[in-house]
């Protein structure tokens, strides 16, 4: 059902399922029941109730009292007795409501509540005749009345559009959705604890930036009224983080939202979460080793049980070797656009006319190499043309010390030995400026403040950035970024 449909119906009077809940709300108030009380202190998580009675035998009853709170998700009436399912953040538990415990009025009130209502309960832990852990209720309190029916209790909520536009409905109906976002949170928490334990400090740099940089992407722009100037929403925190290396912080990381004004796809959301970390006195090989270690740590910490093996050492190839192996094109022998285009045509590959040399290299990687990289893989050593912030390779002319990491056919990380020579950085920016003048919308702008920072002296360093969302996709086994972003970008209805 679309939003527009809801609105129209509201104008013509609500559907009867909504009206029924409204009427029930009023009759509760008429009975003196407050439908929206202020709190319910002292409830324990359902999971801890389960833990406390793990060894309970079938049909066994205890006099251990528990107090829990949650949402009613199912009801099985038996006249003078009823069973209900209660769900909280930690799990589900069955409730048994008996007329001899609650009285006629109490049982009527409880069984008259709706699926979706939030209640707090007290009761004794017992095992039912079928062996299910159950709370035999001695008391209950309505904690919040639900005025909108929850999705089908068995089929859950399946309509993708409703799931994404009303994530709350998705979360309350689909346990699997809750599991995905809990897993994502634990993943981020594990990343933090790894980096914290390695002496990195978490920092926050500007999201509203006077000049964007650190990646090849088109930015969002916005306007600050008091300063009367345009700001960009950051496309990357890189340049600010490296200024912190200059300042002596030496090991820094930032987890936060990035914004790129580009297309939306199963792998792209206009705002997404990345982490970047930088380490003084490391080079890109050290960074690759640490990233492998980080992923081993994170997957162990969250109990990852998926198809990808993170314990084994990652595959390592050079970029040029990977391209040559898969297409026969040796980009080292094709330093100008014409030669590369010719070699690609000779190999029977598509050559878009407007593509520049770096764009053709990108094509080769994304079309012919990336899809083959299912197991965790590093590609090392990229052309200097595609990497204006990376340090020149120590032995390979024309290349920089940069790698990208791939998992499940998807690029997940980008890293390099950082360029810390201010004069060379200035020259690289000049090249970018020329590209921008030539109409390249993604060329990086000249950042004079950054050059000035490098002039104070930046330690040799390695750094990496990777997409939290894509990592979450891989670790939760989702195929679209929308399944790991709580509220993904959607069109207006």
Partner RNA sequence: GCCGGCGUAGCUCAGUUGGCAGAGCAGCGGACUUUUAAUCCGAAGCGCCUGGGUUCGAGUCCCAGCGCCGGCACCA
Give the closest residue to 170 by CA, choosing from 184, 155, 151.
151
In eight-state DSSP terms, residue 196 is: H
Give least dist CB 169 to RNA, A.
Answer: 8
Among 162, 175, 396, 431, binds RNA (CB under 7 A): 162
Q: How far is C-alpha 307 from the chain's CA centre?
A: 19
Q: What is the DSSP string of 32-67?
A: T--SS-S--TTPPPHHHHHHHTTTPPTT-EEEEEEE
Nearer to RNA, 152 or 230 (CB): 152
Q: Is 411 in the site for RNA (CB under 7 A)?
A: yes
Classify strands 251-259 and 271-280 as parallel, antiparallel or unpaired.
antiparallel
Q: Near RNA by CB under 7 A, which window of 161-169, 175-183, 190-198, 286-294? A: 161-169
Q: Does 94 engage in binding with RNA (CB under 7 A)?
A: yes
Closest approach of RNA to the CB of residue 52, in Å: 18
| Cβ at position 137, least distance to RNA in Å | 12
Q: Which stretch binds RNA (CB under 7 A): 29-37, 185-193, 263-271, 393-401?
A: 263-271
For residue 100, state whether it binds RNA (rule: CB under 7 A): yes
444 binds RNA (CB under 7 A): no
3-state secondary structure of 70: strand
- The count of C-alpha atoms lying within 13 angstroms of the C-alpha of 241, restricted to the half-sphere facing its C-beta, is 31
CA angle 183, 261, 279 (to 5 degrees): 55
**28-35 contacts: CB < 8 A, separation 24 or more?**
28/142, 28/145, 31/109, 33/109, 33/142, 34/142, 35/142, 35/144, 35/145
b/e string for 277-290 if b means 16 or more Cβ within 10 A?
A: bbbbebbbeebbeb
Please select the residue that binds RNA; options are 50, 53, 75, 192, rule is CB under 7 A: 75
User: Quick one: DSSP state of residue 14?
Assistant: -
Stretch that binds RNA, among 221-229, 318-326, 427-435, 465-473 (CB under 7 A): 465-473
Rounded Cα distance, 132 and 86, in Å: 13
Closer CB to RNA, 163 or 251, in the complex: 163
| Using rule CB under 7 A, residue 109 touches RNA | no
Residues from 325 through 354 that contact RNA (CB under 7 A): 352
| Strand spans (E) along 145-213 | 201-202, 208-209
Helix H or strand E segment including 81: strand 81-88
Binding status of residue 71 toward RNA by CB under 7 A:
no
| CB nearer to RNA: pick between 268 and 326 | 268
Which is nearer to RNA, 120 or 151 (by Cβ)?
151
Which residue among 38, 130, 223, 229 contacts RNA (CB under 7 A)? 130
Of 355-384, binders to RNA (CB under 7 A) are 355, 359, 362, 366-367
Residue number, 17 or 182, with CB nearest to RNA: 17
- Give whichever of 148 and 224 is closer to RNA, judged by the CB atom: 148
> Does position 4 bind RNA by CB under 7 A?
yes
Of residues 213 through 232, those in contact with RNA by CB under 7 A are 215-217
Per CB under 7 A, contacts with RNA among 132-151 are 132, 134, 148-149, 151
Taking Cα atoms as reference points, which of 21, 214, 242 lies closest to residue 116? 21
Q: How far is the CB of 452 from RNA (least distance, A)?
A: 26
243 touching RNA, by CB under 7 A: no
# chain residues binding RNA, by CB under 7 A: 85
Is residue 409 at the binding interface for RNA, with CB under 7 A as the rule? no
**C-alpha torsion sign, points 280, 196, 275, 294:** positive
Quickly list H helices, 198-237.
none
């Amino acid at each position: 059902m679309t939003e527009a449909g809801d609105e129209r119906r509201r104008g013509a009077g609500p559907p009867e399922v909504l009206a029924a809940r409204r009427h029930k709300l009023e009759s509760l108030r008429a009975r003196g029941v407050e439908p929206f009380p202020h709190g319910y202190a002292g409830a324990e998580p359902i999971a801890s109730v389960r833990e406390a009675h793990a060894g309970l035998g079938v049909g066994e009853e205890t006099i251990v009292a528990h107090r829990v709170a949650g949402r009613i998700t199912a009801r099985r009436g038996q006249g003078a007795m009823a069973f209900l399912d209660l769900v909280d953040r930690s799990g589900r538990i069955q409730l048994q409501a008996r007329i001899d415990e609650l009285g006629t009025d109490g049982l009527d009130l409880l069984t008259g509540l709706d699926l979706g209502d939030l209640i707090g309960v007290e009761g004794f832990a017992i095992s039912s005749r079928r062996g299910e852990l159950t709370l035999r209720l001695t008391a209950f309190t309505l904690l919040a009345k639900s005025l909108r029916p929850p999705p089908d209790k068995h089929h859950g909520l399946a309509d993708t559009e409703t799931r994404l536009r009303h994530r709350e409905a998705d979360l309350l109906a689909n346990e699997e959705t809750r599991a995905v976002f809990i897993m994502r949170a634990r993943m981020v928490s594990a990343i933090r604890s790894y980096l914290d334990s390695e002496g990195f400090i978490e920092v926050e740099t500007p999201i509203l930036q006077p000049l964007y940089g650190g990646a090849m992407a088109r930015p969002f722009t916005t306007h600050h009224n008091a300063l009367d100037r345009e700001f960009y929403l950051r496309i990357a925190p890189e340049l600010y983080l490296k200024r912190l290396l200059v300042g002596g912080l030496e090991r820094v990381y930032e987890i936060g939202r990035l914004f790129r004004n580009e297309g939306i796809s199963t792998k792209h959301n206009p705002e997404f979460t990345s982490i970047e970390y930088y380490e003084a006195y490391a080079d890109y090989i050290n960074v690759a080793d640490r990233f492998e270690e980080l992923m081993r740590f994170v997957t162990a910490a969250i109990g990852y049980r998926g198809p990808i093996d993170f314990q084994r050492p990652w595959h390592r190839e050079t970029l040029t070797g990977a391209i040559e192996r898969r297409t026969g094109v040796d980009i080292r022998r094709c330093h100008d656009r014409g030669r590369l285009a010719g070699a690609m045509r000779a190999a029977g590959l598509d050559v878009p006319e407007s593509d520049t040399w770096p764009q053709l290299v990108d094509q080769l990687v994304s079309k012919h190499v990336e899809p083959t990289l299912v197991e965790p893989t590093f590609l090392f050593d990229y052309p200097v043309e595609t990497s204006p912030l990376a340090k020149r390779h120590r032995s390979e002319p024309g290349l920089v010390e940069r790698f990208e990491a791939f998992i499940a056919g998807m690029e997940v990380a980008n890293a390099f030995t950082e360029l810390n020579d201010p004069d060379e950085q200035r020259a690289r920016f000049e090249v970018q400026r020329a590209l921008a003048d030539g109409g390249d919308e993604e060329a990086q702008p000249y950042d004079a403040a950054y050059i000035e920072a490098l002039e104070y002296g930046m330690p040799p360093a390695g750094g990496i950035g990777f997409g939290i969302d894509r990592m979450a996709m891989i670790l939760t086994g989702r195929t679209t970024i929308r399944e790991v972003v709580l509220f993904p970008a959607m069109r207006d209805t």
